[in-house]
Amino acid sequence: METNGQKETEKINISFTNEGTINKNSVCLETEKGSIKLFFSYSTIISFSGGGDCGTIENLWSVTTGKFLNELEPDKKERLNEPEFKERLRTALNKLF
């Protein structure tokens, strides 16, 4: 069965959640291979969970984003630098698509 040119096995379920304020949102992507939850501050992915991994990036932005990062990963030593965060996120997404 095809829907809008997509085969049934290629479907992606997407759900959006506001996490309390305009800058705090999450998107959950679900495929038949699994799911991943992406946390956004404004339009930037700052944390993820799924695809066999999870990670939160160190604060490279404002105090407002920093507050959300503190909610997601209070231990600043556990946060990832930008290149490592991007690589781990890319790997997690590749497992789903």
Q: What pTM, to 2 d.p., does this model score?
A: 0.87
Look at residue 10 in the predicted model and tell me its pLDDT.
74
User: Does residue 15 sit within a domain?
Assistant: yes
* Number of domains the chain contains: 1
User: Does residue 94 sit within a domain?
Assistant: no
Q: What percent of the chain has pLDDT over 70?
A: 91
23-48 pLDDT, tens digit per residue, is: 999 999 999 999 999 999 999 999 99
Q: Token match 């095809």: residue? A: 2
What are the backbone angles phi and psi of residue 85, rounded to the nearest 5°? -60, -50
User: Does residue 22 sit within a domain?
Assistant: yes
Question: The domain containing residue 57 runs over which residues?
Answer: 9-84
User: Does residue 75 sit within a domain?
Assistant: yes
In terms of residues, how long is the chain? Answer: 97
User: Does residue 28 sit within a domain?
Assistant: yes
User: Does residue 72 sit within a domain?
Assistant: yes
Alpha-carbon span 4 to 18, nearest angstrom: 28
User: Does residue 35 sit within a domain?
Assistant: yes
Q: Token match 């479907």: residue? A: 11
